[in-house]
């Protein structure tokens, strides 16, 4: 175990993080249990070891190629982003149940020559399954002269047809001016009134002030992982989340346009929201847009936020999942949906025994009960 990880675990054990939660008026106990571990068919198990991060689970009322349940995810065994290439899976389940066993369908995108893939999502539209993923400094992003971009494809009969244009393009490439910002982290794309909307996190990775520091100072900070330590202590987090970036497009085959970023309301000061998924569900008979949110990169909880207008999101005051409640660390990006009145939450986490592996879990409850408990 490296020194930084050892320090972080000691911070947790002595109760310092609980003190931070108390000072911010937050509970360390989530309202949902850990649930059950999922089984994933992994065609490269000797390399990826069944690792799962960034799941995106969808249920289609009309089955696609004979199956209602679909998931796209990426492996990230031992933090190796070279493995983070999106894979598509399908599953079957009885009514009022969500699947725990997932079958491999196909690989969406292989490892690029340089850079890496991440953050997959998907959408069924006009009987076509669209899968999207982000790329960072790959041949595709170099071709369109940017660092980050989201690309897509249509999948049918295990054949992948790539879309000709990038869906989202982050054009702010001046790191010193924009602080290494990224407005398309963990995108979700949905259909809205015969058009399309993409939601993503707007995050700055490095404060602008750090670009004015001498190089030896910044090298020292990052070489010794001091940023991770200051984040664990709650003193200073180099990442800053500005909220939800909203993009709009007229066709899935065209570039979307960035519209604006809206800040989360009711979010605790201990959080810097990192990844999320979006779903639509009814509350009190009315459709609302919900964001299921990973609250930070490290020491993450999973929280639910709602929007009455599809743009402004407000956090419910209680977390759904916390490390304290489930007894696991390394909570990462969740995905959620409501089917037949039940709320199904999938998320990944690590445990102390196998710290290099991210495992997928599913937990569920009646949707009205969850809304009542969260308030």
The pLDDT, as a whole number, for residue 175 is: 47
Q: Which residue has the tokens 């598509």?
A: 88
Q: Summarize pLDDT for 70-104 with one digit per residue, the tens.
A: 999 999 999 999 999 999 999 999 887 899 999 99
Mean pLDDT lowest for which of 30-44, 89-103, 346-360? 346-360
Q: Summarize pLDDT for 274-315 with one digit per residue, the tens.
A: 999 999 998 888 899 999 999 998 889 999 999 999 999 999
CB 263 within 8 A of CB 312: no
Question: Edge-to-edge strands of the sheet including 314-315?
Answer: 275-283, 286-294, 302-307, 314-315
Q: Given pLDDT bands bounded at 50, 70 and 90, which one contains residue 208?
A: low
Q: Summarize pLDDT for 308-343 with one digit per residue, the tens.
A: 999 999 999 999 999 989 988 889 999 999 999 999
Mean pLDDT of the chain: 89
Domain boundaries, the chain: 3-374
Report DSSP letters for 78-89, one per residue: GG-GGG---EEE
Tell me how long the chain is.
375
The pLDDT of residue 164 is above 80? yes
CB 26 within 8 A of CB 270: yes
What stretches of the chain show up as alpha helix (H) in DSSP? 3-13, 16-23, 45-48, 139-143, 175-178, 215-223, 226-233, 323-326, 367-374
Domain 3-374: CATH architecture, name and number where available: 5 Propeller (2.115)
């Amino acid at each position: 175990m490296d020194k930084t990880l050892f320090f972080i675990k000691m911070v947790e054990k002595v109760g310092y993080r609980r003190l931070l939660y108390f000072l911010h008026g937050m509970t360390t106990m989530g309202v949902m249990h850990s649930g059950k571990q999922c089984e994933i068919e992994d065609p490269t198990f000797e390399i990826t070891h069944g690792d799962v991060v960034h799941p995106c689970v969808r249920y289609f009322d009309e089955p696609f190629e004979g199956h209602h349940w679909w998931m796209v995810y990426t492996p990230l065994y031992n933090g190796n982003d070279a493995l983070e290439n999106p894979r598509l899976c399908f599953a079957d389940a009885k009514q009022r149940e969500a699947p725990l066993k997932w079958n491999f369908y196909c690989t969406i995108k292989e490892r690029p020559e340089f850079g890496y893939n991440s953050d997959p999502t998907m959408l069924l539209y006009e009987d076509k399954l669209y899968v999207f993923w982000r790329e960072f400094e790959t041949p595709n992003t170099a071709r369109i002269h940017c660092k980050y971009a989201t690309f897509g494809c249509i999948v049918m009969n295990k054949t992948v047809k790539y879309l000709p244009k990038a869906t989202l393009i982050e054009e702010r490439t001046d790191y010193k001016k924009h602080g290494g910002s990224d407005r398309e982290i963990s995108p979700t794309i949905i259909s809205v009134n015969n058009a399309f909307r993409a939601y993503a996190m707007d995050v700055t990775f490095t404060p602008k002030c750090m670009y004015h520091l001498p190089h030896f100072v910044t090298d020292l900070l990052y070489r010794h992982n001091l940023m991770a330590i200051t984040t664990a202590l709650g003193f200073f987090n180099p990442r800053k989340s500005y909220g939800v970036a909203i993009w709009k497009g007229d066709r899935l085959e065209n570039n979307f346009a960035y519209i604006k970023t809206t800040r989360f309301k009711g979010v605790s000061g201990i959080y810097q929201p990192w990844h999320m998924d979006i779903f639509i569900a009814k509350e009190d008979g009315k459709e609302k847009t919900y964001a299921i949110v990973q609250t930070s990169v490290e020491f993450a909880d999973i929280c639910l936020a709602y929007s009455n207008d599809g743009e402004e999101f407000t956090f419910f005051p209680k977390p759904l999942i916390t490390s304290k409640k489930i007894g696991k660390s390394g909570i990462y990006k969740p995905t959620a949906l409501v089917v037949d009145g039940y709320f199904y939450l999938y998320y990944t986490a690590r445990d102390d025994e196998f710290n290099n592996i991210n495992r997928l879990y599913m937990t569920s409850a009646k949707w009205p009960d969850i809304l009542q408990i969260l308030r």
